[in-house]
C-alpha cells in the first residue's frame, strides 16, 4: 500500500439507475445513505478510523482531513458526494465502549438531482480508469448471493413474514422502563431539568436469518421521506437530520412530538386534521418541540452569520407516525479563518435536546442512571462526508444493530416532559419500533 490516497469519479447515465439507488441495495455488507431515490451507496473498504470517548468527533475530523489533504483526486462530476467520501457512525455517549467509525469504501455510487456518478477509491499504485471503476462495481454487484441482475429491486415492497421470529426483553422490562419514565418525570418536577429522552431496546431473533440488504430496501421504499442508513451492521431510516452541509450552507430537521397514526382510527375528520389537532394543539407536544428547536439553534449560533428557523412547526407524515417538525437553515461563518467542517459542527451540536434532553449535562447523567443501557450508535450521528466539506449527518433513530446472523437489537426512545404518562410513552416506543419490525417481517 502506498501513502497516496487516490480517487477517480466518472459520470453514470440514467440507465444505470432503473429504480434509483434502492436498486443497488443488494449486499448485506454495503454502506448506505439514501432518501427517495437519491444518495450514496458504498461497496468494500480501503480505510477505517475508529475512536471512543469525548474527542471521537474531533479525532475523526483530524484523521479525515489529513487523509484527503494529500489525496490525488480526479473528479469529472464535481458534485457534493463526489471525490473522496467516507461513511460514518458515532456512539451516542462519550462514555460508551462502542467504537465510533469512519469507513472509506472502495466503490461509491451516487445519485442526486438526476445526476449519477461512480467513484473508485484506492491506495494502490495501479492506474485508475473509467473501465476499471466500472469493472470493480460489476464485481461487487455480481458476487454470488446477490439479487440477479435485471430484476427491478425497487418494484415490490412486500415483506415476507418471518415464521418463528421472536421478540425478547432488552435491558429493561416494560414495567421497569415505565418506572424509569416516572422517575424522570419526578426529576423534571423538581426543576432539575426541562426534558429527558429515555430509550429502550428489544431483541428480535429471526431463525431464517437477517438480510440487511432486504431491510434497507424495505426502509428505503416505505419511508421515502426519511434517510435510510446502513453502516457496519447499523441499519435504519431516520426522519431527523442533525446537520447537512453544502458549501457554506447548513441545514437541519428537528423533530419532537410524536403521534401514532393508528390513534386516528375512528376519529372525526381526516387523519391529518386529527394529527394537527392532537400534536399542534397540545401544550405538552409544543413545549417538547420548542425545547428541541432552542437547543439546536443555540448550539449552532456561534458557527452562523445568519440563521432561519420557522416559527411554526409542520406535521411530518410518515407511514407509522406523525411528528412535529421544523427545518433550520444557517449560513456558516469562518471560525479562525476556516468554515467549520461537518464533524466540528457535530461535535458542538451532539447530543441535542431531541435525543438527550435539557440541560444536556443533567439529562445525560439521568439517562445513565435510569436506562441501564449502552445506546451504542443508537441516537448518535450517522451519515457521510466528502473532501470538500459537504456532508449529511442524521441522528440514528428508527434503527437497529445486527448483532449476529439471526439477532437484531432494536432501539426506540421518547421525550419525557412534566406532562408525560409512562403508559403513553411505552406505546410510543412500539410505534417507533414498527418500521424495523415491518422490515424484518415481524407483525407488530
> Residue 293 and residue 295: Cα distance in Å, rounded?
5
Question: 154-166 burial by CB neighbour count: b if 16+ within 10 A, else e?
Answer: beeeebeebeebe
> Residue 82 and residue 385: Cα distance in Å, rounded?
10
> Residue 23 and residue 37: Cα distance in Å, rounded?
9
Euclidean distance between the first and final Cα of the chain, in Å?
A: 49
Cα–Cα distances in angstroms (integers) from residue 177 to residues 145, 373, 423, in the given order: 41, 11, 10
Residue 339 CA, distance from chain mean position: 24
> Residue 352 and residue 256: Cα distance in Å, rounded?
11
Residue 131 belongs to what H/E stretch?
helix 130-141
Q: Give me the DSSP letters along 324-368.
A: EEEEEEEEE--BTTBPPPHHHHHHHHPSPTTTTEESHHHHHHHHH
Grid coordinates standing for 215? Answer: 431491510
With the C-alpha atoms ordered 352, 358, 359, 361, is the resulting torsion angle positive or negative? negative
The catalytic site residues sit at 195, 240
Residue 199 CA, distance from chain mean position: 16
Alpha helices in 8-150 (DSSP H): 56-69, 130-141
Grid coordinates standing for 3? Answer: 501513502
Amino acid at each position: 500500500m502506498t501513502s497516496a490516497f487516490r480517487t477517480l469519479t466518472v459520470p453514470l447515465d440514467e440507465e444505470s439507475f432503473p429504480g434509483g439507488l434502492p436498486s443497488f441495495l443488494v449486499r448485506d455488507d454495503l454502506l448506505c445513505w439514501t432518501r427517495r431515490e437519491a444518495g450514496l451507496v458504498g461497496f468494500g473498504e480501503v480505510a477505517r478510523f475508529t475512536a471512543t470517548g469525548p474527542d471521537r468527533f474531533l479525532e475523526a475530523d483530524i484523521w479525515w482531513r489529513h487523509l484527503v489533504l494529500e489525496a490525488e483526486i480526479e473528479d469529472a462530476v464535481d458534485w457534493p458526494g463526489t471525490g473522496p467520501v467516507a461513511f460514518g457512525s458515532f456512539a451516542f455517549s462519550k462514555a460508551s465502549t462502542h467504537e465510533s467509525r469512519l469507513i472509506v469504501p472502495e466503490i461509491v455510487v451516487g445519485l442526486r438531482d438526476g445526476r449519477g456518478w461512480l467513484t473508485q477509491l484506492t491506495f494502490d499504485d495501479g492506474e485508475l480508469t473509467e473501465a476499471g471503476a466500472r469493472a470493480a462495481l460489476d464485481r461487487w454487484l455480481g458476487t454470488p448471493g446477490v439479487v440477479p441482475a435485471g430484476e427491478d429491486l425497487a418494484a415490490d415492497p412486500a415483506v415476507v413474514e418471518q415464521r418463528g421470529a421472536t421478540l425478547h426483553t432488552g435491558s429493561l422490562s416494560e414495567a421497569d422502563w415505565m418506572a424509569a419514565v416516572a422517575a424522570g418525570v419526578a426529576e423534571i418536577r423538581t426543576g432539575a431539568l426541562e426534558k429527558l429522552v429515555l430509550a429502550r431496546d428489544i431483541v428480535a431473533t429471526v431463525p431464517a436469518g437477517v438480510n440487511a440488504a432486504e431491510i434497507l430496501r424495505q426502509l428505503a421504499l416505505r419511508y421515502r421521506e426519511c434517510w435510510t442508513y446502513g453502516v457496519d451492521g447499523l441499519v435504519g431510516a431516520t426522519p431527523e437530520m442533525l446537520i447537512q452541509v453544502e458549501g457554506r450552507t447548513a441545514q437541519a430537521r428537528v423533530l419532537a412530538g410524536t403521534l401514532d397514526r393508528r390513534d386516528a382510527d375512528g376519529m372525526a375528520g381526516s387523519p391529518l386534521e386529527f394529527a394537527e389537532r392532537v400534536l399542534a394543539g397540545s401544550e405538552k407536544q409544543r413545549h417538547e418541540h420548542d425545547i428541541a428547536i432552542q437547543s439546536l439553534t443555540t448550539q449552532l449560533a456561534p458557527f452562523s452569520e445568519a440563521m432561519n428557523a420557522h416559527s411554526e412547526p409542520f406535521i411530518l407524515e410518515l407511514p407509522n407516525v406523525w411528528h412535529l417538525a421544523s427545518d433550520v437553515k444557517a449560513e456558516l461563518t469562518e471560525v479562525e479563518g476556516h468554515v467549520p467542517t461537518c464533524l466540528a459542527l457535530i461535535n458542538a451540536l451532539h447530543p441535542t435536546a431531541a435525543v438527550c434532553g435539557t440541560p444536556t449535562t443533567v439529562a445525560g447523567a439521568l439517562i445513565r442512571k435510569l436506562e441501564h443501557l449502552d445506546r451504542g450508535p443508537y441516537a448518535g450521528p450517522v451519515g457521510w462526508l466528502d473532501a470538500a466539506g459537504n456532508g449529511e449527518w442524521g441522528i440514528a433513530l428508527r434503527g437497529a444493530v445486527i448483532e449476529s446472523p439471526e439477532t437484531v437489537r432494536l432501539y426506540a426512545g421518547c421525550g419525557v416532559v412534566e406532562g408525560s404518562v409512562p403508559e403513553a410513552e411505552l406505546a410510543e416506543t412500539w410505534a417507533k419500533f414498527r418500521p424495523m419490525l415491518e422490515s424484518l417481517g415481524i407483525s407488530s
